[in-house]
Amino acid sequence: MEALQYSTEHHGHSSNPFDKSLQDILHEDIADQPVRQIKRVRINQDPEVAGERSDQSMPLESQQSPQQPRQEPQFESEQDAQYPQPRQNKSLRPQHTRPLQPCRRPSLTSPAPTPVVTRNLIGNELTISKSRTWINVLDPTTQKFLARVPESTLAEIQAAVKAAETAQPSWNLLGISQRRSKMLALVDAIRSHKPAFQRALQIEIGKTWQDADAEIDRALDAVETACSSPMEIFGKHWNNNKTEIFTLHQPMGVCVSITPFNFPLMIPLWSIPIALICGNSVVLKPSEKAPSVSALLGDCFMSLNLPPGVFNIVHGASGAVNKLLAQPSVSAVSFVGSEIVGERVFDHAKATRKRVQVESAGKNHGVLLQDAVKSKSLYAIAGSAFGSAGQRCMALSVLVCVGPTADWIDELVTIARSLKVGCGLDSHADVGPLITAAAKERVEAMIDTAEAEGATIMLDGRNVSVPGYPLGNFVGPTIITKVKPYMQCYQDEIFGPVLVCLEVDTLEEAIEIVNENRFGNGCTLFTTSPIHAQAFQLKVNVGQVGINVPVLAPSGPVARTSNKDSYLGAISGCNQWQFFTTVKTVTTLWPSD
C-alpha cells in the first residue's frame, strides 16, 4: 500500500467537538523510559548500564568542534539567566536573585542558549568535574552543541555519598514538620524558575510548549503530594494490658535516584521530596541527555538553605551509575528508565543488599470494541500514541481492534496525519523531535523491520520534512497494521510516535493478547458497555487499567501499580514513604511499684 504522507504545516482547529479531547490528551505528561539499544562510543564502560546512554561520548581533550568555545561557557539569554554560572566552588543561590517573571512562550526567534559545562552539586558546592571523559548534549531540533556533561570520577561519587551520609543524621533530627516546610518552600522555588524550566525542556528535550508546561505542573503536584504524607508515617500504637506496643518509621539513610531524560523534572520529584521528608539524604543521578533541568532543580534546592549534603547531584552515564551502586553507604535506590538498564540496576542493588525499586519499559494496549464512541475513542488513541513524540512509557503503542473496528483505522490515519510535526518552540507543533539522532535511527529501523516482516505501513513517519530544521530528529506519527504478536515491532518497546495495530474477533481474544504480553504498565478498553468494562478490568493482568481513557502515569497520591516486566522491586504500588523508611516495632512493659 502506498504510504500516506501528512503535512507539517499548521492545521487550524476545526469545529469537531472532539478536537479539544485530542489536544488535552496529546499534551498530558506521562512517565517514560529512555530508548534502549542506542549506539554510543565506548568509554571503557559497558554502554548499557547507565540510566540513559549518550550518542557522543569521548575524552575531553580529543573533542574538536568549531562550536566549542575555549572559555567556560554559560547561558546568557534573557530567559536563561537563571542557569548556574560556571564558577567553581560557588553556591548557586547568590547568582539567582532576579525578581519573579511570568511564564511566557518562547518564540522561534528567541536567542539560542550558549553552551554550558555541567557541574556536580556536592555538599552545597558546585564543582567542575576532573573527569577526562565528557558527553556532548545536542539540540534535538538543530544538532547545535548545548552542553558538556562529565562522567563523574570515583572520587567525586564518593564525595557526594560521603556528604549525604554526614548530613543525614542532623537532617533527620530536624523533625518531620521542619523538613516538610522546606519542601513546601521548594514549590515556590520551582514556580519562580518556571520560565527557565520551560525553555530548558523545549530546547534540550524538544518538548512542545504544552508538554513542558504540563510537566512543570505535574512536578509541582508531586512535591505537594509528598508534603501531605498520611498519618501512618508516624507509626501505629497498641495497648495490651500492661504492655505497650508501637511502631516507628525511620529513614533508610542515603538514597539514590536515577532518572531518565524524557521527564527530567517530574520524575526526580516523584522520589526526592518524599525521601527528604522521611529524613533521608539524596544523591540524584539525572540523565546525561538533560543536564540543564537538573541544574535548575539544584538551584531551587540551594535556595532552601538545606544543610550541606542533604541534596546532591552527580552527572554521568554508565560509569556514574556503577560507582554509585558500589557505595556501601547507599541504602536505597529508585530507578526509572529502560528495561535493560533497569534489570542491571536491580541485580547490582540486590547483590549489595540495597532496597531497590525499578520502573521500566511498557507496551500499553488499547482494546477497541464496536460499541465504543468512535470519534472520541480515535482522538484519544491518537493523542496517547503520538503525544510527546511517543517518548513515554505510558504511551498507547498497541491498538487491538475487535471485530469490525479494524475498518476505523482509515479515520485514525486521517486524524494522525493532521498533527503538526515541528520544533518545540513552535507554539503550533503537536509532535516534537526524538531526543537523539540515534533514537531516530532506532525508531525508523523498527518501522523498516515491521515492513520487512510483512506488516503494512498505513501512515509513514519516516523521512518527514520540517521546514527550517533539516537536521532535526523528527519522526512523524506512524501507524502499522497487519501486525502479528511475533513481530519485533510488537515485542519491543519502540519509544517513538508509532502505533502498531492487531486484529481479533472477540474481547476474550483481546484480553488473552494483553495478558500474554510481558509488560504490565497500562491498558485501556474503549466501550460503552459496563458489562464489557467489568469483565476486562477483572480479567486483564496489567497494573493500571483505563476505561475509555488512555492511562496516564498516576499523579498526586495515586500509587503507580505497574506489574510484570515493567516493574522490579518488593511491592508495586506501595506508598513512597514506605519505600524510603524502615519499620521498627517497640514493645514496653513498665514494672509496677
Integer Cα distance of 554 and 576 in angstroms: 13
Every domain range in the chain assigned CATH 3.40.605.10 = 116-360+575-580
pLDDT in tens, 468-500: 999 999 999 999 999 999 999 999 999 999 999
Instruction: Specify whether the CB–CB gap between 274 and 351 falls below 8 A.
Output: no
The residue among 52 and 451 whose pLDDT is bigger is 451
CA proximity to 245, closest of 591, 582, 586, 589: 586
Tell me the β-bridge partners of 524.
Answer: 366, 546
Res 58 pLDDT > 60: no
Give the predicted TM-score (pTM) of the model: 0.81
Catalytic residue among 393, 401, 423, 489: 393
Instruction: Quote the pLDDT of residue 572.
Output: 59
Helices (H), 208-283: 209-227, 268-277
* Annotated catalytic residue 393: yes
**pLDDT confidence tier of residue 573, bands split at 50, 70 and 90:** low
Instruction: Return the SS3 of 247.
Output: strand
The residue among 592 and 176 whose pLDDT is bigger is 176
- Cβ neighbours of 439 (radius 10 Å): 27
Mean residue pLDDT across the chain: 83
DSSP for 161-190, written as a single string: HHHHHHHHHHHHHT-HHHHHHHHHHHHHHH
The cell numbers describing 348, all together, are 547490582
Res 393 pLDDT > 70: yes
pLDDT in tens, 329-356: 999 999 999 999 999 999 999 999 999 9
Instruction: Quote the pLDDT of residue 554.
Output: 66
pLDDT in tens, 67-83: 344 343 333 333 333 33
Instruction: Quote the pLDDT of residue 574.
Output: 66
What single-letter amino acid sits at 509? Answer: E
Q: What is the CATH number of domain 365-561?
A: 3.40.309.10
Every domain range in the chain assigned CATH 3.40.309.10 = 365-561
Instruction: Specify whether the CB–CB gap between 135 and 54 falls below 8 A.
Output: yes
Instruction: Return the SS3 of 235.
Output: coil
**Class of the 116-360+575-580 domain?**
alpha beta
112-121, 332-341, 416-425: the lowest-pLDDT one: 112-121
